[in-house]
Structure 1
Amino acid sequence: MSKPNRDRFDDVPRSSGRVGAHRAEAPGMNGWIVLLWSFVAALVLIIGGIFGSLVVMGRITLFPEAVPTATPTPEETGVVDTAYSVLILNATADEGLDEQMRETLINNGWAADVVFASDSTSQDFTTTTVYYVADEDELAAIGLAGLIGGADVQQSDFYAAMNDTEQKQLTVVIGLDDSANPPSSPEETPAP
């Protein structure tokens, strides 16, 4: 067999010590690193398990469906309809409120012969209210209430007997909220 050729590494003196690549880990540090990686792995598994359980139980939705936003129901604004006759009753102690409201309605397009103003038998009605009889009269009542300053609107046939014509009628009862001198306490309210 032939002898291998010599090279420059053949002349390197042999020393006692390590020769070659030693990839052994440094002693003492290995335990802490293993413990840290074990802790991180356990934490990831615990968090993943909790999250997965919540998804399976339905407490968390991964891809929620878009919920349509609720559109607010538009408030009825009413229609000012001058074809209705209007009965105005002053249910306060103030004189002339019924005539002032009558003039307001006439100035807003009502004919003078279909707007009637009178005093009520009561003088302690609390809130100005527009009354209408039939369901189809509601929008006209809302329009009239808005025109006179935001009165309440109620359906009632109590005032229907006062209508001696065949024309549709709305009734406005002026309350203490529109009075210039409302009583300060219930004891001062005059008896009907």
Structure 2
Amino acid sequence: MARSTFPRDRFDDLPVEAGRVGAHRAERPRSRGWIIFLWAALATVVLIIVGIFGVLVASGRISLGSDPSPTPTAVETAPAAIDTSYSVVVLNGTADEGLAGNLRDRIVELGWPGDSVQTGDSDTTDFATTTVYYRTADDAEAARGLADAIGGADIAESDFLQPTDDPDTADDESVEKRLVVVIGLDRAAGQPTP
């Protein structure tokens, strides 16, 4: 190897026992990797919690303000009045015998005259829910009263109660006021009676 022609300086006279040549860095401590991992995991958890909280606030599920919550007010609903001026037809819409007669007796006990409550069988034997049918909107309150009195039933307005002989008398006062109760499978044998 050729000798250098540069002038000698203090770095040319290094002791041989030092054993180092060139740039050197300090060794990494072994625990430093775990500390970085733990800080990264903690930062990830904090960011996830802040993100979830932000989404809940943005969607309105959490309110930061103290909005006064409205106090629910109890609405008292008076039971509908029983109007015995209506005639009642009770139809059995199930395959069980005697349901119409039993319900007729109960309606008579509630105050209806015995001759204004008639019984019969429906065209079907698989009627789902006991329903009280009425003719016009003016009859809805009387239907609700009867439905409540017999232990709860649905009510529905129906066109089949309209007079068939003269359609012009549909709103005439001379037309008999009538409610029709169709007993459903909800009151059939084996079902609890309300």
TM score, norm. by length of structure 1: 0.55
CA distance in 2, matches of 1:123, 1:163: 28
Give ranges in structure 2 of 5+ residues lacking alignment.
1-62, 167-173
CA distance in 2, matches of 1:91, 1:85: 19
Alignment correspondent of 1:121: 123
| Structure 1 residue 143: Cα displacement | 0.9
1:102 aligns with 2:111: no
Cα-to-partner distance string for 1:89-140 (whole Å, 9 max, x where unaligned): 1000001111111111111111111111000110000100011111121111
Alignment correspondent of 2:88: 86
Query: Which amino acid is 1:79 matched to?
Result: A
CA distance in 1, matches of 2:101, 2:189: 14
Query: Which amino acid is 2:152 matched to?
Result: G
Q: Percent of aligned positions with the same letter in both sequences?
A: 45
CA distance in 1, matches of 2:164, 2:81: 23
Query: Which amino acid is 2:139 matched to?
Result: D
Change (3 A) 1:94 1:147: same
Q: Secondary structure at the match of 2:160?
A: coil
Cα-to-partner distance string for 1:16-54 (whole Å, 9 max, x where unaligned): xxxxxxxxxxxxxxxxxxxxxxxxxxxxxxxxxxxxxxx
Q: Secondary structure at the match of 2:115?
A: helix
CA distance in 2, matches of 1:71, 1:177: 33
CA distance in 1, matches of 2:130, 2:165: 20
CA distance in 2, matches of 1:119, 1:125: 11
Asked whether the equivalents of residues 131 and 172 of structure 1 are also in contact (C-alpha less than 8 Å), the reply is: yes
Query: Which amino acid is 2:187 matched to?
Result: D
CA distance in 1, matches of 2:78, 2:127: 25
Alignment correspondent of 2:54: none
1:175 aligns with 2:175: no
1:27-66 equivalence runs, <5 A? none
CA distance in 1, matches of 2:165, 2:116: 11
Cα RMSD, aligned residues only: 2.7
1:166 aligns with 2:168: no
Q: Secondary structure at the match of 1:99?
A: helix
TM score, norm. by length of structure 2: 0.54
CA distance in 1, matches of 2:165, 2:82: 20
Alignment correspondent of 2:151: 149
Q: Secondary structure at the match of 2:90?
A: strand
Give ranges in structure 1 of 5+ residues lacking alignment.
1-58, 183-192
Alignment correspondent of 2:132: 130
1:71 aligns with 2:73: yes
CA distance in 2, matches of 1:154, 1:109: 23
Change (3 A) 1:163 1:176: farther
Query: Which amino acid is 1:111 matched to?
Result: P
Query: Which amino acid is 2:181 matched to?
Result: V
What number of residue pairs does the alignment pair up? 122
Query: Which amino acid is 2:82 matched to?
Result: V
CA distance in 1, matches of 2:98, 2:130: 15
Asked whether the equivalents of residues 76 and 142 of structure 1 are also in contact (C-alpha less than 8 Å), the reply is: no
